[in-house]
A and B are shown apart, each in its own frame.
Chain A
């Protein structure tokens, strides 16, 4: 038995949406996680509530590669609708686990793969009388089979069930019974474990497993957001739902039931962002979350917030566009839309987290940034990060950290000022002082507007005053460059004439590709963008390399465009590595595109 596939394989589950497979599949993933082995699951789900095919793909990687990988070592096929394609998807030499209650039709037979038939339906029909239980426990039976086949530690699964059914302990024995049905069937009928299998490690240390969206919601709670307005849209929905859940726990008065938070489900995205702007204008930290179509709708208000200089935090969980696109698939295709949202000369601060830990941190930072800069900050994540569980280091919060509320004048400050000018650049950094309504009886009131105004917030159509204001906004933009999250540079000094540039969820596959290139003797420098506007580090990285491979998950090379526009970078040196099929990018894909460029005759093509 070859040892190479220990802790290194991909299992894909082919299920029917709405049949309870999600919790069974998660049980599988989490058990491997608890065995200390790096594991990464991806939901590949339809825009549907019940009945359509849905897949759950789990990669196990001893080396800690947490991106998606092509090539399925084992298919757990419990959906007849998709079975023909599911059979084809298995790697040669791989395994096909199916429900053998009925004989497998000839069309599903391939000579080069192994078949593991388990009569899931028959076993459940014999063991359970209730129709719903028969359906649900089919999923648990195959998890039992996988415990035996892949050598998963039973006690970890038991422990997970104990956690899951805390307070409902009487549900545990029936689940254990189903697991045992699967285990026993394998023990009686097959050789086990398989060559693909797991072995306990201690590779994860104190890591946690979390979805990016929940981490964003929690970040907003820690940052002191007191108001959220939103309109439900996949894949961003669980950001505000996560916020609401954590807020219910931490912001509700135990006696009165009153809450130190308000959440309004708006009538549409226009209203959602309008409410957020209104609340921030009135001094409450507030935010919204949306996805591409919502971002399109929010454009006008984002322009207002930019021009009227109102702090705003927006989490954009990107999905596959354009238009309605593929609402349940991932992409990084809102970059230009977000960077320049709204008519006229507008630019917006963007941040790009890669992991749930970073979602938590950068969302919290975004509230500081938005208030310090008095402008919208858009947190750019994607469906892959937002809606999939990721292994991530534990979240950290420093209790000494204070909220940076920016230049807000108190009543006492106003007393000392002879004449308040809302748009006077007192500190010469482009950032002016604001007041919150209700602060002082006779000083500090001003009229917030989307029309042009002078330094004292009075309406003006004077060209010089208009231009002064526009120039000050650019000065503020330049101030922002060193305030947004700095990029992560992989080598302190350049080691190579070529570099790789990436951001967001491409990090996982990019780092894996870099490792493989290094093993092949092609070491390259790398930089991961975390914020926009770009600072000098980004500019220097691009300048100091002959070629820069820009990895991004969209068709139009949007980040490359942004580098060209904002840094006047030479388009010929920026080589695009693109992925835009709606699935998370893989290291294989990156390698192919890079080697094709570096050595057009390479075998890897």
Chain B
């Protein structure tokens, strides 16, 4: 890099409840291409964490390999980060989460990192309902290796060199719903108004929260004929609802037309208020959510917003009954059976 990040900030930036201004949640200067959709998502993450009054050191950010996986360096520099190996972030996140259930786990992946090399781990982390937020920055191509199609590229979509993709795409959102993910959302990097509340709700969800974000690659997949270009996505986005997220039973300040309003109460009392736009869609019903996504797809539309949520979600720690105290805080007296117990074990082996 030949330049440095400007340190100047407006002197009267508003502070959140913890007394932090939004810049406290920023990271290093991004080295992605100018105009990359991923940078917009990073900024939505920063905004979401700021608004949720998150202590950065109580959040761990994890990623795999690829352009998307570089982004954890560009937000929350006061959080520990782990840039692991390609397609394997879910396993590292699983171990990290098992070690300390009290932190927030924030995973960032890409379409190659999730839908190709990481597909195995992606489906299994969903099965286990690991308590984490998992964002896929989905641009339908391999950016770091210069533009090859990924498994989420739509059939018939053209890449920069004019080649047409011959293969059916993998739809990550419907796959996640199908596999039993307990929180599934879809959004567009260019729609921060929608993305920020989704990220906030995802972080509060007590289980696996998946957000598939269409995030155009300005360098390799923003051409005419691509179905993941800014222009194409803007024209084809169909929102399920406008959404508001209110943490822990605060007064709801936004009012909607009663007939189309849907409120989802989360485990800790937080409220998601959805102002439904899509018809015959119930975000609490897996089947209905699945149909809504597939219907939109058949019309060439990308359905965005919160697609499905199960507020009764029980995460992996609940399922396997680990102690309430984080495992990484346990000490010898809580862990070691001691010499006398060993004598008994020996006696049983004679």
- Chain A positions within 8 Å of B, measured between CB atoms, are 33-34, 206-210, 218, 221-224, 226-227, 229, 246, 250-251, 253, 257-264, 266-268, 270-284, 286, 300-301, 304, 394-399, 402-403, 435-442, 445-451, 458-459
Q: B253 at interface (Cβ–Cβ under 8 A)?
A: no
Contact indicator A267/B120 (Cβ below 8 Å): yes
Known: A282-B328, A449-B83. A258 touches B98 (CB 8 A): no
- Chain A residues contacting B95 (CB-CB under 8 Å) are 227, 229, 274-282, 284, 286
Q: How far is the CA of A437 from the CA of B96 in the complex (A)?
A: 9
Shortest distance in angstroms between B89's beta carbon and chain A's nearest beta carbon? 8
Closest B residue to A283 by CB, please name it.
B328
Interface size class of B (residues with CB under 8 A): 35 or more
Q: B322 at interface (Cβ–Cβ under 8 A)?
A: yes
- Chain A residues contacting B56 (CB-CB under 8 Å) are 441, 445
Q: B338 at interface (Cβ–Cβ under 8 A)?
A: yes
- Chain B residues contacting A394 (CB-CB under 8 Å) are 343, 346
Pick the 9 closest A-B CB pairs, nearest first.
A278-B95, A274-B91, A284-B99, A279-B95, A282-B99, A275-B95, A437-B80, A283-B328, A278-B92
Q: Which of B73, B120, B128 contacts A268 (CB 8 A)?
A: B120
Shortest distance in angstroms between B230's beta carbon and chain A's nearest beta carbon? 28
Number of A-B contacts (CB under 8 A): 224
Closest B residue to A301 by CB, please name it.
B85
Q: How far is the CA of A458 from the CA of B55 in the complex (A)?
A: 22
Closest B residue to A251 by CB, please name it.
B335
A-B contact pairs, 7 of them (CB 8 A): A210-B349, A266-B91, A282-B99, A283-B328, A284-B95, A284-B327, A399-B338
- Chain A residues contacting B328 (CB-CB under 8 Å) are 226, 279, 282-284, 436
Q: How far is the CA of A264 from the CA of B98 in the complex (A)?
A: 9
- Chain B residues contacting A210 (CB-CB under 8 Å) are 349
- Chain A residues contacting B97 (CB-CB under 8 Å) are 278
Contacting residues of chain B (78-100) with chain A, CB-CB under 8 angstroms: 78-85, 88, 90-100
Known: A208-B346, A447-B72. A259 touches B323 (CB 8 A): yes
- Chain A residues contacting B78 (CB-CB under 8 Å) are 441-442, 445
- Chain A residues contacting B99 (CB-CB under 8 Å) are 226-227, 278-284, 286
Q: Which of B83, B88, B336, B341 contacts A271 (CB 8 A)?
A: B88
Q: B191 at interface (Cβ–Cβ under 8 A)?
A: no
Contact indicator B339/A258 (Cβ below 8 Å): no
Q: Which of B57, B85, B339 contacts A442 (CB 8 A)?
A: B57
Shortest distance in angstroms between B265's beta carbon and chain A's nearest beta carbon? 26
Contact indicator A260/B335 (Cβ below 8 Å): yes
Q: B13 at interface (Cβ–Cβ under 8 A)?
A: no
Q: How far is the CA of A284 from the CA of B102 in the complex (A)?
A: 13
Closest A residue to B342 by CB, please name it.
A397
- Chain B positions within 8 Å of A, measured between CB atoms, are 28, 55-58, 60, 62, 72-73, 77-85, 88, 90-100, 102-103, 120-121, 124, 128, 316-317, 320-325, 327-328, 330, 332, 334-339, 341-343, 345-346, 349-350
Closest B residue to A398 by CB, please name it.
B339
Shortest distance in angstroms between B301's beta carbon and chain A's nearest beta carbon? 33
- Chain B residues contacting A261 (CB-CB under 8 Å) are 322, 327
Closest B residue to A250 by CB, please name it.
B337
Q: Which of B80, B335, B339, B342 contacts A448 (CB 8 A)?
A: B80
Shortest distance in angstroms between B327's beta carbon and chain A's nearest beta carbon? 4
Q: How far is the CA of A435 from the CA of B60 in the complex (A)?
A: 13
Shortest distance in angstroms between B287's beta carbon and chain A's nearest beta carbon? 26
Shortest distance in angstroms between A549's beta carbon and chain B's nearest beta carbon? 34
Shortest distance in angstroms between A399's beta carbon and chain B's nearest beta carbon? 5
Q: How far is the CA of A397 from the CA of B340 in the complex (A)?
A: 9
Q: How far is the CA of A271 from the CA of B88 in the complex (A)?
A: 7
Contact indicator B345/A395 (Cβ below 8 Å): yes
- Chain A residues contacting B337 (CB-CB under 8 Å) are 221-222, 246, 250
Contact indicator A224/B336 (Cβ below 8 Å): yes
Contact indicator A260/B345 (Cβ below 8 Å): no
Contact indicator B323/A253 (Cβ below 8 Å): yes
Known: A224-B335, A450-B84. A438 touches B100 (CB 8 A): yes
Q: Which of A208, A221, A276 contacts B350 (CB 8 A)?
A: A208
Known: A281-B96, A397-B339. A402 touches B57 (CB 8 A): no
- Chain A residues contacting B330 (CB-CB under 8 Å) are 224, 226, 260
Q: How far is the CA of A451 from the CA of B342 in the complex (A)?
A: 44
Q: How far is the CA of A279 from the CA of B93 in the complex (A)?
A: 8
Contact indicator B83/A224 (Cβ below 8 Å): no
Q: With A262-B98, A271-B120 given, can you name 13 additional A-B contacts, CB distance below 8 Å?
A: A34-B350, A227-B98, A259-B320, A274-B88, A275-B98, A279-B327, A282-B96, A286-B98, A300-B88, A304-B85, A394-B346, A403-B332, A438-B80
Most chain A beta-carbon neighbours within 10 Å: one of B83, B99, B121, B320: B99
- Chain A residues contacting B92 (CB-CB under 8 Å) are 274-275, 277-278, 281
Q: Which of A246, A268, A273, A402 contacts B332 (CB 8 A)?
A: A402
Contact indicator B91/A270 (Cβ below 8 Å): yes
Q: Which of A251, A258, A435, A459 contacts B73 (CB 8 A)?
A: A459
